[in-house]
Structure 1
Amino acid sequence: MPDGQRERSVFLGLLPWPERVRVARALRTETVGGLVLLAAAVVALVWANTPWSGTYEEIRDFHFGIPALGLDLSVGHWTSDGLLTIFFLVAGIELKRELVVGELRTPATAALPVVAALCGMAVPAGVYLATTGIGGGSGQGWAVPMATDIAFALAVLAVLSTHLPSALRAFLLTLAVVDDLGAIMVIALFFTSDLNPAALAGAVAGLVVFYLLQRFRVRGWWWYVPLGVVIWALMYNGGVHATVAGVAMGLILRTVRDEGEDASPGERTEHLLRPVSAGVAVPLFALFAAGVSVSTEGVGEVFTRPEPLGVVLGLVVGKTVGIFAGTYLAARFTRARLNPDLAWADVFALAVLAGIGFTVALLIGELAFTDPADVEYIKAAVLLGSLLAAAVAALLIKRRNGIYRRLWEAETRDDDADGIPDIYQRTASGRDGVEGTS
């Protein structure tokens, strides 16, 4: 085999065993959380369309907190500004891990998922702006269709009972991690208001202290939890969306183990908080964000108003075109060859699935629009767009599920019952975890 051919990396090939174990653990939690999220969204929709919808609104809009500290928020805002900070903290840790020891640590391995994710953010925004420009609407919601909801996507896969290979799931996870970073940067740069320099300076000072505690290996939750709450409160009062504090702290946490450590601070924090994020924080946010009144007239407005129509087209068309085209071009540019057991149709199906943009899309929709009526239409558009993307992806994935089942069975077969699939023991990749990178 020529040297050039030998050096070509395999895209969506067999994951190294340590990476597969980590991905499986993360996706298992996210899948369970996604099912809870799906249930919470259904409860919210049903509740908001019953005679008891007034009770739903009263609970969502009920205020409590500490007014003297600028923290007198509604239940809905506590879930979006408070609980979602846990979600973004976990996302920050995951991103840090990917940058330090994961798929994003080197340009060669980062090129495909980063280019795919960037195209998957830029094209939906472009589709939204084109739609609103042609229809004479407002461009302020351009960021709504940018983000992929990994938990909701995995919930769809769980409901379908598919056998998607681990490499495809890992690629979807990496896409979502980069998406989350893009979303938080958009929130920080474009959705800030009434900046308070003193509070922001205090938040930055708190992050510096947080970094120094990590740098000097200070242990003990009693240091970090109170400090994290203070940083969050200062960030909120500083005019920057409070979830930015979560990502910042996640990026600061150390993810590489010291000699003799069983787990790094980032690993321990992620282990503790991922179930809380996936099973509590995100579903509660969905419960108080997805309660949209559904009517024939309202659905009609979604497809006739330029802003909600731009969101639907951005999620269903923009995400698909952006991720697929970005992945294809990046693979050609890096000379990566697709796993011979898969086809580009599998990447296309994954791109369609990434059009499910529930949690972060709802959050950005609330930030981008001030008129409650506009917010309701945008939320309805996010729900409809995500539902359409899920339905089309389901058809494409189920059509290929026979192939996925054979690959999954080959990946998981363990005849000697030693806990490590046989395929890893037949290759050098299983022994050293270096080869077989997707």
Structure 2
Amino acid sequence: MAKPEHTTDSTPHQAFRRVSLRERGFLADALRTETVGGVLLLLAAIAALVWANVPGISGSYESFSQTHIGPSALGLDLSIEHWASEGLLAIFFFVAGIELKRELVAGDLKDPKAAALPVIAAVCGMVVPALVYLAVNGAMGGSATGWAVPTATDIAFALAVLAVIGASLPSALRAFLLTLAVVDDLLAIVIIALFFTEHLNFAALGGAAAGLAVFWFLLRKGVRGWWVYVPLGLVIWGLMYNSGVHATIAGVAMGLMLRCTRREGEDLSPGERIEHLVRPLSAGLAVPLFALFAAGVPVAADDLAAVFTQPETLGVTLGLVVGKTVGIFGGTWLTARFTRASLSDDLAWADVFALATLAGIGFTVSLLIGELAFEGDAGLTEHVKAAVLVGSLLATLIAAVLLRLRNATYRRMTEEEERDEDRDGIPDIYTQDDPEYHLRMARILERKAAEHRRLAETMAAERRR
């Protein structure tokens, strides 16, 4: 990938600019995969709600999700629900780690100046929801324990909503959401590691660290073969779980170790190749199964009333719907206003506001943090899960209305991006600013004009005869 051009100090650093043609194709492929995963996630959540609330079968949901399996001698006698959140979700965070590494070495986060806007927007999009939660619970006498629940964004769910609303979206707008989500995922991982680790088993933690060192050494030596890395990854995961640190940290650590830059003769880097193989497993199996065993909340009139009357649940709901929107939009605007960073010319502030609202869909990671934050209170855990679902649903509905209002603009922007009047197979938007392209087109026009002049002179001479 070509190095980014250096700009002078007086030149604004555009974030979410028009991406290269190659990166545009990569983004499109990634979005299609995430969109399918988001639809599966939505279907799994609906199935969980039906299973947990239909009389006659609702009891089986609780009994099945709490069924314990696994070797107790290794400290892994876990419930199926626990396996989904600690085990399968590690695959999701493994893919997130690879995405983060790719963005850091070859994407928008490589250039610190260009990365400033999405990073600050993501940080504000996590800080403000936490402050909203704390303000609500401080005013109503609730618990501060769940401050981290509304800080996360579910990228797969958000992209699924975009797919349902319409495909006429500029690539810069989609890049905005993807970059924001990568930083959001990293910060969520940091929150889980720092604030939801109580009792450490240093022997197991040391073993996990040693396993990660071996993993890194094998990668550096170019050792290949799933039969080496999969068993090693499982050992690292098991040790990380027994250490007291949330086991998903093992997934992101291994993802960050993969090389995501291409060497001479490589079509794909090892990170890109492994992500291509593992992403379907994450989007099609791991995340939907987690949703199936996490979203099964019994929904009754009293539960819904508690969402808007109980301080913890109201804080989560307002944090997702209000906090995310204010944080992301406000952080983006302030950064663009007081620094040299700027939005792409393809985007309007109304677009940023709509996507900031869409980022209020917390779901996967919010459900996970809710389980960790209120682990000792089953009733409150269920109410917080309901609050996450309600908040995500409200954010979806509001964002859908806003994006519909922008749909005509999106369509015009997409048509402009796809326009290829000279039919050379390359959209004109990628050639219209190229001086050589303009010189070539001028020569073509001059040649055609000369041909027309010769033809006119010939026809005039024929008429004179």
Normalising by the residue count of structure 1, what TM-score does the alignment of the two structures yield? 0.94
Matched ranges for 1:7-156 at <5 A: 7-51=11-55, 52-156=57-161
The more displaced of 120-129 and 260-269 is 260-269
* Counterpart position of 2:459: none
The more displaced of 258-267 and 27-36 is 258-267
C-alpha contact 2:36 2:160 (8 A) present in aligned 1:
yes
1:275 to 277, 280, 286: 280
C-alpha contact 1:93 1:270 (8 A) present in aligned 2:
yes
Amino acid of the structure 1 residue aligned with 2:334: L
Q: Deviations over 1:229-264 (max 9, x none)?
A: 100000001111000000000111111122222222
Amino acid of the structure 1 residue aligned with 2:24: R
Structure 2 unaligned runs (5+)? Answer: 1-6, 438-465
d(CA) in 1 for partners of 2:218 and 2:71?
A: 28
Cα deviation for residue 5 of structure 1 reads: 10
CA change 1:337–1:237 in 2 (3 A) is: closer
CA change 1:112–1:79 in 2 (3 A) is: same
C-alpha contact 1:17 1:430 (8 A) present in aligned 2:
no
Larger Rg: 2
C-alpha contact 1:125 1:142 (8 A) present in aligned 2:
yes
d(CA) in 2 for partners of 1:280 and 1:169?
A: 24
Matched ranges for 1:149-228 at <5 A: 149-228=154-233
C-alpha contact 1:35 1:152 (8 A) present in aligned 2:
yes
C-alpha contact 1:256 1:264 (8 A) present in aligned 2:
yes
Alignment of 1:373 with 2:379, yes or no, is yes
d(CA) in 2 for partners of 1:416 and 1:219?
A: 46
> Which secondary structure state, in structure 2, belongs to the residue aligned with residue 7 of structure 1?
coil
Alignment of 1:309 with 2:314, yes or no, is yes
> Which secondary structure state, in structure 1, belongs to the residue aligned with residue 70 of structure 2?
strand
C-alpha contact 2:151 2:362 (8 A) present in aligned 1:
yes
Cα deviation for residue 394 of structure 1 reads: 0.5
CA change 1:430–1:105 in 2 (3 A) is: farther
C-alpha contact 1:324 1:348 (8 A) present in aligned 2:
yes
Alignment of 1:254 with 2:259, yes or no, is yes
CA change 1:47–1:335 in 2 (3 A) is: same
* Counterpart position of 1:384: 390
1:320 to 303, 321, 325: 325
d(CA) in 1 for partners of 2:8 and 2:239?
A: 54
Cα deviation for residue 83 of structure 1 reads: 0.5
d(CA) in 2 for partners of 1:63 and 1:278?
A: 25
> Which secondary structure state, in structure 2, belongs to the residue aligned with residue 262 of structure 1?
coil
> Which secondary structure state, in structure 2, belongs to the residue aligned with residue 10 of structure 1?
strand
2:418 to 399, 412, 420: 412
Cα deviation for residue 427 of structure 1 reads: 3.5
C-alpha contact 2:113 2:341 (8 A) present in aligned 1:
no
* Counterpart position of 2:364: 359
* Counterpart position of 2:403: 397
Identity %: 67
* Counterpart position of 2:452: none
Higher RCO (Cα < 8 Å, 6 or more apart): 1
C-alpha contact 1:162 1:398 (8 A) present in aligned 2:
no
* Counterpart position of 2:450: none
The more displaced of 353-362 and 163-172 is 163-172
The more displaced of 174-183 and 187-196 is 187-196
* Counterpart position of 1:422: 428
C-alpha contact 1:137 1:306 (8 A) present in aligned 2:
yes
The more displaced of 95-104 and 154-163 is 154-163
d(CA) in 2 for partners of 1:229 and 1:68?
A: 16
d(CA) in 2 for partners of 1:4 and 1:226?
A: 50
Structure 1 unaligned runs (5+)? Answer: 432-438
Amino acid of the structure 1 residue aligned with 2:272: E
CA-based RMSD: 1.9
The more displaced of 408-417 and 148-157 is 408-417
> Which secondary structure state, in structure 1, belongs to the residue aligned with residue 69 of structure 2?
strand
C-alpha contact 2:361 2:393 (8 A) present in aligned 1:
yes
* Counterpart position of 1:436: none
C-alpha contact 2:325 2:360 (8 A) present in aligned 1:
yes
C-alpha contact 1:17 1:429 (8 A) present in aligned 2:
no
C-alpha contact 1:49 1:293 (8 A) present in aligned 2:
yes
d(CA) in 1 for partners of 2:165 and 2:272?
A: 31
d(CA) in 2 for partners of 1:315 and 1:168?
A: 21
Cα deviation for residue 419 of structure 1 reads: 5.4
Normalising by the residue count of structure 2, what TM-score does the alignment of the two structures yield? 0.89
